[in-house]
Amino acid sequence: MNLSAVDLNLFLVLHAVLETGSATGAARQLHVTQSAVSNALARLRDVLGDPLLVRSGRGLVPTPRCEALRPLIASAVSQLQMAVDDNRFEPSESTRQFTLSCGDNQDLCDLPLIVEAFSRRMPRARLRVVSIDYVVATDGVATGDVDVALGPVQVASREGFFAEPLYLDEVAFVARKDHPRLRGTTLTKEAFCAVQHVDMNIAGGRPGVGHRLFAELMKERGLTRHVALSVSHFIAAGIAASRTDYVAGMPGRTADALCAMLPLKRLELTPKVPPMVMALIWHTRTHEDPGARCFRELVIDTLRDGSVQRPPPAARPSRRAS
C-alpha cells in the first residue's frame, strides 16, 4: 500500500472513535457530523480490508486488526500533536542542549549567574558556551547552531536579528596599582595619549563593535594611543596590565572583577565615556521555538538589572534591521 495515496485524516477519525467509544462522541470531538465519521470509517475499512469496528449492543467493538493498530495510531497522533503544540516544552524535564555565545568578560561576570539559574530551572538540560570567535567564524546565531549571544545591542543591526537590552556597562581602564605615571584614579587626555595601551580584538582577531565605537569617540575627542600589545581576551589584557606599565580598556564590571583579583586599579577617562547597552541577541530562525524562548527568558530574567528602559510591548519593534 502506498501511504501517499491514503487520506491520513481517516486515522484521526478512527483514533477519535477509539478514544470516545462511539461515532457520536468522535463527531463531537472532531466538530463534524456523525455521518461524516461513518463515511470516514467506511473509507478506511476499504483501504485496510478490515471491518475495524463492529457493533455489539449499543457500542462498537474493535477487531483484532484494529486493536493492533490502536497503540500505533495513538503514538503517531501524540507525536504530531507535540510537533504543532508550542506549549509542550517542559523546562524541568528537557534534556536538550542550549548554546550561548559570549566574550570572556561575560564568562567572568555573567556566566556564573546564568549557570546557577540554568541548573535550577533546567536540571536535566545541557548548557554549551562558545566564544565570540566561534560565532563569528560560523555565523552560528543565524544558522541556529547558537541559540543566543551576549553583546552590544548594535550587533543586532542585521536583518533577521532580535535584541533584548539587559544592562548598561561602562567603559573603564585598568593599570597596575603602583603605575609610576598614574597616581590617582583619573585618566586625563594627556595621560591617555602618553601611556602605552593594550588593544582588544575579540571578534575573530578583528575589532568588535565596542572597539569601533571607542575609535569614533577617540577621533571626536582628539585622543591618540600607542598600542604596545594586542590580545583577544579581556582577562589577558588585565594580566598584562598588572605586570607592565600598559593601560587596558575594558567593560567596567570586568575591570572591577579583575581589580579584586589582581594588583590593578580602575581608571576613569575624563570626560567620562558613555556606557554601552549590552543585550541578548538571537535570530528569527529560533524566535518562535518554545525551548529557545524559555532559555532566552531565563537569561533575561537573570541578567536584566533595570539600568536600561525596556520599551512597552506595543512600541517595541519585533526585530532590529539595518
% of the chain exceeding 70 in pLDDT: 92
Q: What pLDDT is stored for residue 280 in this prediction?
A: 97
Per-residue three-class SS string for 100-160: EECCHHHHHHCHHHHHHHHHHHCCCCEEEEECHHHHHHHCHHHHCCCCEEEEEHHHHHCCC
Are 184 and 265 in contact by the 8 Å Cβ rule? The answer is no
Q: Is the pLDDT score of 320 beyond 70?
A: no
Q: Is the pLDDT score of 82 beyond 80?
A: no
pLDDT digits (tens, 9 = 90+) for 127-164: 999 999 888 888 889 888 899 999 999 888 878 899 99
CATH of 3-84, one of 2.40.37.10, 3.40.50.720, 1.10.287.1060, 1.10.10.10: 1.10.10.10
CATH of 171-274, one of 3.30.1600.10, 3.40.190.10, 3.40.50.2000, 3.30.1360.120: 3.40.190.10
pLDDT digits (tens, 9 = 90+) for 188-221: 999 999 999 999 988 766 777 788 888 999 999 9
- Is residue 217 helix, strand or coil? helix
Tell me the CATH number for domain 97-168+277-303. 3.40.190.10
The CA–CA distances, whole Å, from 239 to 131, 244, 278 equal: 20, 9, 24
* CA–CA gap between residue 131 and residue 140 (Å, rounded): 11
pLDDT digits (tens, 9 = 90+) for 244-269: 999 999 999 999 999 999 999 999 99
- Range scoring the smallest mean pLDDT among 10-19, 108-117, 174-183: 10-19
Q: What pLDDT is stored for residue 50 in this prediction?
A: 93
Q: What pLDDT is stored for residue 77 in this prediction?
A: 81
Q: What pLDDT is stored for residue 177 in this prediction?
A: 96
- pLDDT confidence band for 309 (50 / 70 / 90): low
Q: What pLDDT is stored for residue 2 in this prediction?
A: 67
Q: What pLDDT is stored for residue 313 in this prediction?
A: 45
The answer to whether domain 3-84 and domain 97-168+277-303 are alike in fold is: no
pLDDT digits (tens, 9 = 90+) for 215-240: 999 999 999 999 999 999 999 999 99
CA angle in degrees (0–180, nearest 5) for 74-78-84: 150
Please tell me the chain's helix, strand, coil percentages from 3-state DSSP, rounded to the nearest 5.
45, 25, 30
Domain residue spans in the chain?
A: 3-84, 97-168+277-303, 171-274
Neighbours of 1 (CB within 10 A): 8
**Which cell numbers in the block locate residue 65?**
486488526
Q: How high is the mean pLDDT of the chain?
A: 88
Per-residue three-class SS string for 236-264: HHHHHHHCCCCEEEEEHHHHHHHHHHCCE
Q: What pLDDT is stored for residue 321 in this prediction?
A: 35
Q: What pLDDT is stored for residue 44 in this prediction?
A: 93
Tell me which of 59 and 295 has the higher pLDDT.
295
Q: What pLDDT is stored for residue 319 in this prediction?
A: 44
Q: In DSSP terms, which residues pair with 128 in a beta bridge?
A: 99
Q: Cell 475495524: give the residue.
A: 52
Q: What pLDDT is stored for residue 6 in this prediction?
A: 80
| Residues 105-118, mean pLDDT to the nearest whole number | 97
DSSP 177-215: TT-TT--SSEE-HHHHHHSEEEEE-TBTTB--HHHHHHH
* CA–CA gap between residue 127 and residue 266 (Å, rounded): 33
Q: In DSSP terms, which residues pair with 61 in a beta bridge?
A: 54
pLDDT digits (tens, 9 = 90+) for 29-63: 899 999 999 999 999 999 999 999 988 777 788 99
Residues 194-225: b if buried by 16+ CB within 10 A, e if exposed: ebebbbbebbeeebbbbeebbeeebeeeeeeb
Number of H helices, E strands in the chain: 14, 13
| Residues 102-127, mean pLDDT to the nearest whole number | 96
| Residues 71-76, mean pLDDT to the nearest whole number | 84
Q: Cell 463534524: give the residue.
A: 32
